[in-house]
Every structure is written in structure tokens, then in C-alpha cells.
Chains A and B, each alone.
Chain A
Amino acid sequence: MVEPSLPPVIAEGVSKDFGSLRALREVSLSVSSSEIFGLIGPNGSGKTTLIRLLLGLGRPTRGSLRVLGGIMPDRRVSSQVGYMTQASALYSDLSVRQNLSFFGRIYGIRGKDLQERTSEVLALVDLSARTESPVNCLSGGMRQRVSLAVALLHRPKVLFLDEPTVGIDPELRLSFWTYFERLAAEGVTIIVSTHYLDEAKKCHRLALLRAGRVLAANTPRGLLEESGEAEFDEAFLYFASRREGARE
């Protein structure tokens, strides 16, 4: 199904309306294999809507989205993508292992394979010691790490992370980015949204979103050069005002 020449994630002229609210306007972007692609923008800029459309949780009003060659929503792609949000999305009354086992099984992972992968992802997020703990006994940061472990369990080719580091401490944020870089190095394509501008620097490429529109898309260095600014917050303001200037 996957054509090797085709980028794993493509959006072409995607718009999405919720009633009279236009959440996305003519968004086009393409993400290459093994790339960490950042979606940067304030709350309400359309980051979550774009990620949800890419996951098949809804249809675009106009335009098309392709993930791993399938035109979304496409059921066949679902076993090859992973998803994590700022809500840890775990069954809090179950143990870490029970959570991983449930999500593993619905992806068709069973028996010894399931055990091996469980140990593998828990080692990656440094939680091997808490395998049998009920999730509601874990700290917020630990839950987020379990959540990432669940998203990785079925070895997705594309990982969608919607503000994965919101509400966790700076140290853990750093280790999350270490995980992401390790995964990208192993060939996983990562689309990550954030409104932390310091995280933006760590992406291979970025799209700046505002009011449902892509203001600019480039490498972090490229965006700074394009704007002539030294910091991202200033660069962001530059692109935002340029856009408003263009509208007038």
C-alpha cells in the first residue's frame, strides 16, 4: 500500500468547518520519513483539528489527507499509526501492564510478543519498575510516560503527538524529546504539536499555525533566517503580522 516515493504524511488544501467556525483553512504540508515535524501555534490555531483529521477522526470539509499512502479516513492505516495527547488516556483503575495488554491486544499483539514489547516500551520510558502499579497510583508525569508507551507498543510508522508535554515538568519534557529523537532515528515519522517555543527548535521542520492557516513552514533555522529574528516568539509575531499585512 505504501509507495516508497510518497512522503508518509501529506495534506493538500485541507479546510475544516465546524458549523460556522473555520478551524482549518487551505492547509497544505508534507512530512518526510523519519522527520520530527512540529505544529506550532497558540491555542485554537487548528493544531489538534489537523492531527485529528490525519488520524481519521473526522473528514475534512475540503482537500485531502494521505497517511502512509491511504486517503484518510482509511481504516487500513490505523494499525501503523500511534497517537498520544495531553490527556493520558489510560484506564486509571487498571495496572500499567493491564493497560498495555489491552491496547496491545486490540492491535493484534499477543502472548510472548506482547510481553516482550511491554518490557521494551516500559524500558524506553524508564518505568519497568512500575509495571504492576495501578495507573491511579502514578504521578502525572509517569502517566504521560505510560501513555507514550501505549502509543509505541504496536511500533507505529507514524506517531501523532498532540501537545504531549503539556503539564509535565521540564526534566521530563527533556527526556520525552530524547525519546522522540531516538524514535525518529529508528525511522518513525513524528508529527508533534506544541505551544512551547523552546521545543520548536528541536523539530526537524516546523509549521507555524494561526487561526487555522499555515503562516510558514521551514526548518527552525530557516524560519529564523526568513524572519530575520533571533528568537522564535519574535519570528512567530513577524509571520503573524506579515499575514495580517497581506490581508489588508
Chain B
Amino acid sequence: MSLRRILATALRIVQQFSRDGRTLVLILVAPLAVLLLLNSALSGKAPEVTLGVVADATSFSPAAFSQMENQLKTIDRVHVVMIDRDKVDQDLREGKADGVLLTPQETDPPTSLVLRVEGSDPATAQRLRLIVEQAAKGFQPNAPAEPASVRTEYLYGGKEYTETDALAPYFIGLFDFLFVFLLSSVAFLRERSQGTMERVLVSPLSRSELVVGYLLGFTIFALLQALMIMFFVIGVLHIHYAGSLVLLLLVTLLLTIGAINLGIFTSVFAKNELQVIQFVPLLLVPQILLGGLFFPVRSLPVVLKQLAYLFPVTYANFALKDVMVRGFGLAGIWTDVVFLVAFAVLMVGAAVLSLGRRRAFP
């Protein structure tokens, strides 16, 4: 062993790193950025919840109710809103409340409270149940002898609806985006490095034909992947599933088109496969962290929330969850679809333009 040769090798490695500023920034700064994101997203431990309350029953003493309401209001990250009895499900659907506490009507025993939760996020539903059950212990409307009991009802999902059920829609979107982005980016990079891109560019094949060709080829595999995940989660994991397969494939298709073209576009800025991988923490990790998989987008800090609303994966997650858990139709997810279409169009444009850097004719 020669120390000199070892040092010469080490020096060469240092020189190579210092000539590659991007890798340097990546290994030094990216972990901090990811930690920062995680920290601010995790800072509120329990999910923020909005509890609606229906308090119109005559059998119910206003004094007792306001006592409970005050108690609820003191809990951190809980908002209390008043809701009309005939608009409970509508308000839950529109996200005005995550759960509604219904006071007993004339015909009910005075101590039976009903908590009706939206149900698509198990963590939120769980927290609401705990809060309400806690509050109910000190709630003794007319008959001081027995504490009130709480019965929980679900708008979507149900008691058996678990975290896995809730996460399944996110995995479809994430896997699709991750794989399609990486594969198309690397494939395009290879076209450049092995010289086939030049050969294609001097042929009659136009830029847009090339991009659409890539799109078709990749879409086949992306849809196949989505179907595989679907059948696995429904057939093998027996995941709660309420929606339309066609809509699910539509959302996947739109996300795929965006991801392929983002891949093509970013491949221009990468000199080798390693540099493609470097885009993962930059472009993908924030989408994974903030897109709703780990924390509900609504309860993110303001800055991160606005960031999340720029990400295509967030919208795909919204749409896939609405379709799979809530069984929404196209009318229910159209805003997400519009955003995904816009993203796809933008990325196709960017991809076509990025190819033109080398060729003078269109």
C-alpha cells in the first residue's frame, strides 16, 4: 500500500467533486432542505381538525352545550363551527368540517350524541372521535346520573377503513410519477449520449412526433402499472374501493403525460444518469412529502400549503382519493383534472422546446 497513491486518488475524488458543483450542493444542502420540509410539516403533531356542531334540539340545554363547546375550543388545533342539521353531509363533502357532532333530537335519549365524520382520512376521524368522547365525559345534559355516549357514523370509508386504505390512492400517483419521470429522463439522456438523438434529429421525424412517440410508449407501461397496483390493492389487500376505474386511469394518464415530459425536459439539464437521480430530491421528494401522503394538505403551514398546490402529484392525489374513497364522478374532480391537463400541456411544450436547442428546423 502506498500512501501517496491513496492520497492521489483521494485528491482526484475531491477535484472531481469540486468540479461538479451540483453534486456538491446536493449532498450538502439537499438533506437540510428535506429536513426543513419534514420539520415544518411535522411541527403540528395531531392533524388540524374542524368540528361542526349541530345544536338545535330543544331537549338540549344551551348552558350544557356551551360548556362543552368551550371545552372543545380550548383544545389545540381544533376549530368549532356551527352547522345546520339539514346540511350536515353537504358541509362534510365540501370540506367545511371534518366531522359533525349532532345533539340528540326529541325522539332520542338525551345522552346519546352522534359524531358523523367525513371519514376519508383515518387519522382525522380518529382524532375527532377522541376529542368528542373526551368532551362527552363531562357532558351531562339533563340526567346527571349517566355520561353521554357517542356513536360515530361515517360519510365515506367506515370503521374498518384504515391507514392502508387511505394511502392506496397516493401510491398509484406517486409510483406512476416517480417511475415514469426517471425512466423517460434516463431514456432521453441515453438518446443524447449514445448519439441516436442526432440521428433522429437529422431524419424526417419531427420533434413533436418524437415526444408523442415517447408518450405513447411510456403510457402503455404507466397504465399497466396503475392497473397492477389497482388490482393488487383491491384484490389482494382488499382495500376499500368505491370509484370508477375509467376515471382512475384518466387521472393516471394525465399525470403520466406530465411526468414523461418533465423527464424529457429535465434530461436536457443532466449530463449523465447520476445527475438525473439528483433531480429526485429536488423535484420528487417535496411532492411526496407535501402531496398529502404524510400530512393532509389542508393542515400544512401556509407556505408549504401553497407549494403543495403547485405540485401535480397533489392534484393527482386529491383526484385519486376522491375517486377511490369517495366514489366521486368526473364532476367531483374536474378542478384537479383541469390542473393536471394544464400541467401536461405545459410539460409537453417544455419538452418539445428543449429538443429544439440542437436543431434549427421545427
Contacts and interface: CB of A to CB of B under 8 A. Distances in A.
Given A57-B358, A58-B360, A74-B361, A107 B203 contact: yes
Interface residues of A, number: 25
Contacts of A56: 202, 359-361
Contacts of A75: 204, 206, 361-362
A55 B202 contact: yes
Contacts of A92: 194
Interface string A28-60: 000000000000000000000000000111110
A85 B197 CA distance: 12
B302 interface: no
A122 interface: no
Cβ-closest 8 pairs across A and B = A89-B195, A87-B195, A73-B360, A73-B361, A106-B205, A59-B360, A75-B361, A89-B199
Interface stretch (A76-84, A110-118, A169-177): A76-84
B268 to A, nearest CB: 16
Interface string A133-150: 000000000000000001
A168 to B, nearest CB: 16
A4 interface: no
17 contacts: A57-B360, A58-B358, A72-B360, A73-B361, A75-B204, A75-B206, A78-B202, A79-B203, A89-B199, A90-B196, A91-B196, A103-B199, A103-B203, A106-B205, A107-B203, A107-B204, A108-B204
Is chain B's binding surface mostly helix, strand, loop or mixed? loop
B183 interface: no
B200 interface: yes
A227 interface: no
A80 B362 CA distance: 18
Contacts of B196: 89-91
A83 B361 contact: no
A98 interface: no
A201 B62 CA distance: 107
A91 B194 contact: yes
B204 A106 contact: yes
A81 B361 CA distance: 15
Interface string B318-362: 000000000000000000000000000000000000000011111
Interface in B11-27: none
Contacts of A78: 202-204
B195 A85 contact: yes
B214 to A, nearest CB: 13
A87 B197 CA distance: 12
Nearest to A108: B204
Interface in A87-127: 87-92, 103, 106-108
A189 to B, nearest CB: 16
B80 interface: no
Nearest to B360: A73
Nearest to B200: A106
Contacts of B359: 56-58, 73
Contacts of B360: 56-59, 72-73
A158 to B, nearest CB: 11
Contact of A79 (B195, B204, B358): B204
Given A83-B199, A103-B203, A107-B204, A89 B194 contact: yes
A226 to B, nearest CB: 34
B198 A83 contact: yes
Nearest to B197: A89
B241 to A, nearest CB: 37
Nearest to B191: A91
